[in-house]
Amino acid sequence: MTTPAPWLASGPFTVSILDRIGNTPLVRLERITRGVVPAGVEVWAKLEWFNPGGSVKDRAAYNIIHSMETAGHIGPDTVLLDSSSGNTGIAYGMICAIRGYSLTLCLPKNANRERKRILRAYGVQIVETDPLEGSDGAIRMAKKLVADNPGKYLYLDQYGNEANPRAHELGTAEEIWAQTGGRVTHWVATLGTSGSFMGTTRGLKKKNAAIQCISVQPDSPFHGLEGLKHMESAIVPAIYDPALADRDLGAPTEPCIELRKRLAREEGILAGVSAGAALWGAMEVARGLQSGVVVTLFPDSGERYISEDHLWD
């Protein structure tokens, strides 16, 4: 039986679906890297849709809500509020359904059908925001709702809440270290809220300061890498510290989408949009090495994007 993540207080047996957060599989990518990556370099990916809510965001969402509970901020009439491009909202929705909490979520109107239907299945109240403003527009709306309705909402603020990266420092980093037997030499991750990169980097650097940690973001403001932020042109998350990265790479949209298609056809891994950027970054790093163990993270499954024909045709 999988041991629950170290930041979850639970016993040896699963009594709640939340006990299944963390300890996601780490798999080696061999076919797609063959002929591109030197023979002495390994490329591995954590498949985060094995979390019960279907994405890496389960980790941060649970720790954010758990920290609010511990601090005594959630009462019987509390309405939780945050913004999301989809995955964090779904994770919140799952957790709030289990806890019996009310949740309002600000979501860009152009979020796909799969995500909206999942959110409604969990009973989430959705406030749709301007699709042209993306996740930044959802952030602005959430802050406006809080300002216009004093005392009504408890703002979870995934972009500014330190419980987000802390979940990865105590969970994801520990898992990667254990799963690689301490052999990891490079950590590569994409930037959205930046929580997974920030927290995992801190955790891995504590284990071995020589581990190189490389962030990946879109190479321009106008990109098609859903869920990722081009930091120079976006609202920068308060939890983001660019100085933490040893390097930062700008990922091009089309090659990343093509890599994502190849993942399904060559590795049997049906991954989400940002996984293409994560793989692109990992391979960029790996091809410049002679030896090493490069680890990246695939945030969600491609099943949440099936309705988006342009990503598959």
Q: Three-state DSSP class for 16? A: coil
Are 33 and 283 within 8 A, CB to CB?
A: yes
Looking at residue 183, its amino acid is R
Q: Which residue in 57, 84, 85, 196 is the catalytic one? A: 57
The total number of residues shown for the chain amounts to: 313
CA separation for the pair 7, 59 (Å, rounded) = 9
Tell me, yes or no, if 206 is annotated catalytic: no
Can you tell me which residue has the tokens 């023979």?
A: 39
CA proximity to 269, closest of 36, 33, 58: 33
H helix and E strand count, the chain:
9, 10
CA distance 88 to 156: 11
Q: Which of 55, 84, 194, 274 is catalytic?
A: 274
Reading the block at residue 44, the tokens are 């591995």
- 258 token code pair: 């093509």
The torsion angles phi and psi of 108, rounded to 5 degrees, stand at -55, 140
C-alpha separations of 39 from 211, 224, 267, 288, 291 in Å: 20, 32, 18, 12, 8
233 Cα distance to chain centroid: 20
Complete DSSP assignment for 121-135: HTTPEEEEE-GGGHH
> Which amino acid appears at position 260 of this protein?
R
Annotated catalytic residue 57: yes
Q: Which residues are catalytic?
A: 57, 274
